[in-house]
Structure 1
């Protein structure tokens, strides 16, 4: 429907993004007011992002509004208590100093949260995909191309230019999260960073491959069960894709 204002979103990827999701959820449980506000509007934001990529019809939007609201209600009732318990356990572990075993525990926790979210949200998203028309698939292809611009630009940078770009991005993120860095802190950042052009180019290649495979999947169509099975495989075992 493209009537909502476009909200930019950060680049995300794989396990790192899922760990960030866990940290975000733990912050919610800890009572961060700004994050709590974001959580309370997460249903609207998710539908907005889907609309950004698919240009929803009114019927599709009504369906997603209902199902995403139900997903949020389930998450609030069942997952937030688990997050509180995980936060308490993390606090206990942190008091003794984090170990490799603790790191494994964090990954196990985020994996469990992620699996439950997939199990509850993917069936409805798969049903939604069966309602797409040809124009919406074309709209999605154009959105993919537009949103690749940031990564395409980075993949084309020289090693030195990529290092500078990476440094500026990290400084901006840290400044946003911690309310400003001292001059000494900002000066130390470059010594901790090592940009890798090969990794950036591989990331772009993988993204383009996934986009084409996803477009092929929705163009081919099929039942919601078929789509769900394929997407579950991609989400649970991304290395196979």
Structure 2
């Protein structure tokens, strides 16, 4: 996978694709950074050798400080600004709707677009030293990469409004209390813990995992009956698969299953 290593580092280990935002010290999300992430995700989607994705930031203090403000000049042009925002919304939607688990490893501060990026991921492991926030209001702008929509859905409208209207940051422990992250671990262990979680998911049944992700994200945006229809669709799609047969056979044989994504 060819990317600009000044923007992203890419490595695969134990069926986990590791993407590291490599723009220290702030790990800002330039357009090229985001295009590289998109390119890597596109190439990995149909690669059965990759079963999970892990996104982190280079260094120990910053997951990502968000958008590269040196690129804000074009935002004054409404037409160009609209194209940019649509592109970013499409990418973050792509991450949210990705058929393989995407885990964010928040190794430091996740601010602005960096926070919006982790909100688009499926699961989040944060260092105990991490801070999360959407400080855009302090620059006279609003979160534009999906924050105004995802944050209320994740933690509730009133908590989300307080954070966005004030621009305040919250600690990793508060983010855990709010349900914004899944786990908080010592900073020196955050990469190990996040990788172990990704590797565990990568060993699971790919078709079943894809069905669960689709059922949750597509179904939960609809009423219960429509959501149950999505669940039935995915259940029927996987129930006759080779993996389902392998899972049941392995269970009765008292051995670990060997899922192939078929």
Of Structure 1 and Structure 2, the greater strand share is in 2
**Which is bigger in relative contact order (C-alpha 8 A, separation at least 6)?**
1
Q: Tell me the TM-score range normalised by the shorter chain.
A: under 0.3
